[in-house]
Amino acid sequence: MDVYLIGGQSNATGQGIFKNIPPDFFTDTAVHFFYGNGLQGVGKPMQWGPLSQASETNDKFGVELSLGTTLQQYYPNRQIGLIKYAFSGSNLYSQWAPGSHKADTNNYGAEFKKFVLTVDAALAQLKAKGIKPRLRGMVWIQGEADAREIAGSTNAEAYGKNLNHFIQRVREQWQVPNLPFLYAYVIPVPQQRFTGREEVRRGQQQVDRKSGNSLSVKNAFAIPTDDLQLRADDINTPFPDDKVHFGTLGVWELGKRFAKQLKRK
């Protein structure tokens, strides 16, 4: 099975409104899906099942639906599996801190610990069924918490360095040295409370494999998002002022962009 990982904070848990998905947008339930504790979906957390939405509540969804469906369209003769763990409001500098190396578990952040537990449990269940998993890529939607004024300028300025290290550690953790790592640019519209927005986005740009910067990582891909629909513009949105989170169509398109880049790699 080709397995892809999903991680991050609230735009990764997903803020798309499930009932607003247009009826002609198809979700392929032949795709296998595993999501961690703290998320709600059609099935149960920490168990493999067919592709479904999984967010803080099951009336919302993330990139899993369009990502999995599009990948299956690209590779109709392969088994596709997604493993998702995300936690809203979580930062990279502390909560997702991956330690200096795999054995440095005392310095794992709380969310990185849960992410590792989720992925390891999912892979172990596949192996117990006689299925050989092959990690093919990871998508990451995070950075808003590191740009918040409460994070401080030092953590915002360190985002590129921290993301570089996080990618290296994910690859070390599961022994996939060149694992494609895709991440979405955050905060398309400047917001007063996100005082570190420019620093975080600069760090994201520097990590991209084509940046030419010392923080650049091979097979790391920054995905454009500034043109995506936001939750403020969603149909009958309950959050008319929310220009931080992607809306239904924005989430769906982002998943397709991730899949398209994974196909190109």
Tell me the per-residue pLDDT of 151-201, one tens digit each, with 9 for 90 and over: 999 999 999 999 999 999 999 999 999 999 999 999 999 999 999 999 999
Q: By C-alpha distance, which of 255, 233, 22 is closest to 139?
A: 255
Q: By C-alpha distance, which of 226, 214, 217 is closest to 250?
A: 226
Q: How far apart are CA 75 and CA 259, in angstroms?
A: 11
Residue 64 has pLDDT above 80, yes or no: yes
Alpha helices in 136-234 (DSSP H): 144-147, 153-157, 159-173, 197-207
Tell me the per-residue pLDDT of 67-121, one tens digit each, with 9 for 90 and over: 999 999 999 999 999 999 999 999 999 999 999 999 999 999 999 999 999 999 9
pLDDT at 112: 98
pLDDT at 183: 98
- 264: pLDDT confidence band, cut at 50, 70 and 90? confident
- The DSSP symbol for 57 reads S
Residue 265 has pLDDT above 90, yes or no: no
CATH of the domain at 182: 3.40.50.1110
Tell me the per-residue pLDDT of 120-162, one tens digit each, with 9 for 90 and over: 999 999 999 999 999 999 999 999 999 999 999 999 999 999 9
SS3 86: strand
Tell me the per-residue pLDDT of 206-254, one tens digit each, with 9 for 90 and over: 999 999 999 999 999 999 999 999 999 999 999 999 999 999 999 999 9
pLDDT at 204: 98
pLDDT at 128: 98
3-state secondary structure 9-56: CHHHHCCEEHHHCCCCCCCCCCCEEEECCCCEECCCCCCCEECCCEEC
Count how many domains the chain has.
1
Its domain, for residue 91, covers 2-264
Residue 45 has pLDDT above 80, yes or no: yes
- CA end-to-end distance (rounded Å), the chain: 18
